[in-house]
């Protein structure tokens, strides 16, 4: 292993973390928040008794879950400019850029997965509580907001966070759009300095430490929540 | 919006001069299925071994199994593929490394893709196998031992036959995940289905036709996998035990 130069990590530290990891974490956080909100709405639509609400939501979730994330990334990279043109009434596709496009893609894609989790969470609340809410004179939104969703969210928190760890790992796929996320930064340094081994091993270690650390925290949280219940 | 739709593009000759674009997509599909199948074999074999040793009474074996699963679950698949593709040939003895680098093109991407996808999926299979074995009542293991079976025999004749039946539904979704994940192999140069659609888009500029076709093909493959696995579930169901898949009639 003598010809490896690990100092390349130290030299590119600022670029890797201040630029790359910042983007990775921002994308993860924004997609997690946006995905959870949109996913919760999708779950509520799916559980609705109105067919015109439940069918499109079911179709959307099943479609997103049956195609690879990479294909979705490519889809939206080309589709979003056309949607932008349609929304703004412009005659030419709107330039959105790889950054905005990846935020939109991950939010819309992860929403399908978060929605399945939230659906299970909502269904885990006994029906009687919803009827009790109606009996108290609350309307649908009030019942959801004050009774069902807070409990569903708390019950599902460990699973939502586990999904977020998966999302954190999945953001590495923006590599195909040549975005400088953490892996993108590592890859650019690797190509520039011809240090593929060092940079990719280091990237693997960093992803492992963060994902494994977070998964230990989730396990701890799970035990805590189990006691409260 | 001024996008020029041209669905006839699929029958135009592709850049290789022989196949149509539709033919290119089909060859991509063949690679997707081939790489997924080979990876599935690796994942099932290694995943079963790791899953089983995590349920043995030996605490060292359990620790080893847990470490394996955590290692492969906490590194992104893309990074794992890069490790197999870029890093492995550099860290093995020089002769072997040179032999790896000398592989011709589809195989130079195919082999690391199969290894990477196979091991990545094996950690997830191991998790399912462990859960399946632990879902069985403890009495079954004890009964097996009480009958005088050795530990391997208890697994072979008592625990595993039921455990595999229990985990068939999660294994179905793992199979579909594997097929979807195989698209990541395009980053190390394998022209599988997503890469074929991307190539078609790059050369013809018919973005939406190419991606629509790939999307439909993935959905059809998904439906086929789900239905084949449902048949397997029905065929292997033990009457009176785990029967939701059989559905409908009661006893």
Region of A165 on the Ramachandran plot (φ > 0 left; ψ -120 to 50 alpha; else beta) = alpha
Q: Is residue B12 one of the residues assigned to a domain?
A: no
What is the per-residue pLDDT for B242?
Answer: 56
ipTM: 0.91
> Chain A: nearest CA to B219, how far in angstroms?
6
Q: Check CB contact under 8 Å for A173 and B184.
A: yes
**Which of A68, A170, A197 lies closest to B218 in CB terms?**
A68
The CA distance from A84 to A87, in Å, is 5
CATH of the domain at B155: 1.10.3720.10
The CA distance from B44 to B184, in Å, is 20
B82 chain-A contacts, CB cut-off 8 A: 187, 200, 203
**Which of A68, A169, A211 lies closest to B194 in CB terms?**
A68
Number of Cβ within 10 Å of residue A128's Cβ equals: 9
Q: Check CB contact under 8 Å for B214 and A207.
A: no
> Chain B: nearest CA to A143, how far in angstroms?
33
Q: Is residue B177 one of the residues assigned to a domain?
A: yes
> Chain B: nearest CA to A66, how far in angstroms?
6
Q: What is the dihedral of CA A95, A99, A100, A103, to 10 degrees?
A: 150
What is the per-residue pLDDT for A94?
Answer: 85
What is the per-residue pLDDT for B251?
Answer: 42
Most B CBs within 10 A among A74, A109, A170, A173, hence the mutation to make, goes to: A74
Interface A–B counts its CB contacts (< 8 A) at 107
**Which of A82, A200, A212 lies closest to B86 in CB terms?**
A200
Domain of B160 in residue numbering reads as: 30-193
Q: Is residue B41 one of the residues assigned to a domain?
A: yes
Which is higher by pLDDT, A53 or B3?
A53
Which is higher by pLDDT, B6 or A206?
A206
**Which of B74, B181, B215 lies closest to A215 in CB terms?**
B74
Average pLDDT value over all residues in chain A: 92
A9-45 pLDDT tens trace: 888 898 999 999 999 999 999 999 999 999 999 999 9
A79 chain-B contacts, CB cut-off 8 A: 208
pLDDT tens for chain B, 251 residues long, are: 567 888 888 888 887 778 888 999 999 999 999 999 999 999 999 999 999 999 999 999 999 999 999 999 999 999 999 999 999 999 999 889 888 888 888 899 999 999 999 999 999 999 999 999 999 999 999 999 999 999 999 999 999 999 999 999 999 999 999 999 999 999 999 999 999 999 999 888 888 999 999 999 999 999 999 999 999 999 998 887 754 444 444 44
- Residue A195 tokens read as 């240090």
B80 chain-A contacts, CB cut-off 8 A: 204
Q: A112, A123, A145: which is closest to A39 by C-alpha?
A: A112
What is the per-residue pLDDT for B250?
Answer: 43
Q: Check CB contact under 8 Å for B83 and A200.
A: yes
Number of Cβ within 10 Å of residue A131's Cβ equals: 11
Q: Does residue A226 have a pLDDT over 80?
A: no
Q: Check CB contact under 8 Å for A197 and B91.
A: yes
Which of A96-105, A128-137, A158-167 shows the lowest per-residue confidence on average (mean pLDDT)?
A96-105
Q: A173, A196, A202, A75: which is closest to B186 by C-alpha?
A: A173
Q: Is residue B171 one of the residues assigned to a domain?
A: yes
Report how many domains make up chain B: 1
What is the per-residue pLDDT for B249?
Answer: 42
What is the per-residue pLDDT for A227?
Answer: 61
B201 chain-A contacts, CB cut-off 8 A: 74, 78
A70-93 pLDDT tens trace: 999 999 998 888 888 888 888 888
B168-193 pLDDT tens trace: 999 999 999 999 999 999 999 999 99
**Which of B1, B73, B187 lies closest to A175 in CB terms?**
B187
Most B CBs within 10 A among A64, A70, A211, hence the mutation to make, goes to: A70
Superfamily of A7-228 according to CATH: MetI-like (1.10.3720.10)
Q: Is residue B111 one of the residues assigned to a domain?
A: yes
């Amino acid at each position: 292993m003598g010809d490896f130069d690990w100092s390349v990590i130290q030299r590119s530290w600022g670029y890797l973390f201040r630029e790359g990891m910042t983007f990775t974490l921002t994308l993860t956080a924004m997609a997690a928040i946006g995905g959870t909100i949109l996913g919760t709405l999708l779950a509520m639509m799916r559980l609705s008794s109105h067919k015109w609400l439940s069918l499109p939501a079911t179709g959307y979730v099943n479609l997103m879950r049956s195609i690879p994330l990479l294909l979705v990334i490519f889809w939206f990279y080309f589709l979003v400019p056309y949607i932008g043109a349609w929304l703004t009434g412009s005659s030419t596709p709107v330039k959105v850029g790889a950054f905005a496009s990846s935020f939109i893609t991950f939010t819309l894609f992860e929403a399908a997965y978060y929605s399945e989790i939230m659906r299970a969470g909502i269904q885990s609340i006994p029906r009687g509580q919803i009827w009790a809410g109606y009996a108290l004179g609350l309307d649908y939104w009030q019942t959801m907001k004050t009774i069902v969703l807070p409990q569903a969210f708390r019950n599902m928190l460990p699973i939502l966070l586990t999904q977020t760890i998966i999302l954190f790992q999945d953001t590495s796929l923006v590599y195909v759009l040549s975005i400088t996320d953490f892996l993108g930064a590592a890859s650019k340094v690797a190509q520039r300095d011809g240090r593929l081994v060092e940079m990719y091993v280091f990237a693997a270690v960093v992803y492992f430490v963060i994902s494994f650390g977070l998964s230990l925290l989730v396990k701890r949280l799970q035990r805590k929540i189990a006691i409260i219940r | 919006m001024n996008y020029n739709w041209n669905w006839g593009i699929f029958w135009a000759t592709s850049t290789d001069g022989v196949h149509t674009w539709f033919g290119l997509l089909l060859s991509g599909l063949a690679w997707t299925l081939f790489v997924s199948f080979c990876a599935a074999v690796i994942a099932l074999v290694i995943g079963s071994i790791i899953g089983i040793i995590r349920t043995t009474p030996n605490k060292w074996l359990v620790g080893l199994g847990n470490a394996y699963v955590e290692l492969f679950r906490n590194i992104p698949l893309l990074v794992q593929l890069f490790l197999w593709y870029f890093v492995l040939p550099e860290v093995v003895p020089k002769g072997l490394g040179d032999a790896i680098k000398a592989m011709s093109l589809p195989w130079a991407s195919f082999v690391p893709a199969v290894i990477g996808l196979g091991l990545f999926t094996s950690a997830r299979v191991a998790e399912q196998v462990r859960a399946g074995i632990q879902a069985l009542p403890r009495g079954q293991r004890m009964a097996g031992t009480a009958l005088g079976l050795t530990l391997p025999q208890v697994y072979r004749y008592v625990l595993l036959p039921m455990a595999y039946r229990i985990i068939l539904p999660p294994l179905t979704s793992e199979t579909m995940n594997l097929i979807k994940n195989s698209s990541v192999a395009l980053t190390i140069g394998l022209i599988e289905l997503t890469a074929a659609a991307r190539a078609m888009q790059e050369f013809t500029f018919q973005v939406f036709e190419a991606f629509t076709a790939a999307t439909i093909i993935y959905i059809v493959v998904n439906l086929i996998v789900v239905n084949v696995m449902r048949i397997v579930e029905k065929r292997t169901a033990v009457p009176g035990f785990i029967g939701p898949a059989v559905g409908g009639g009661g006893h």
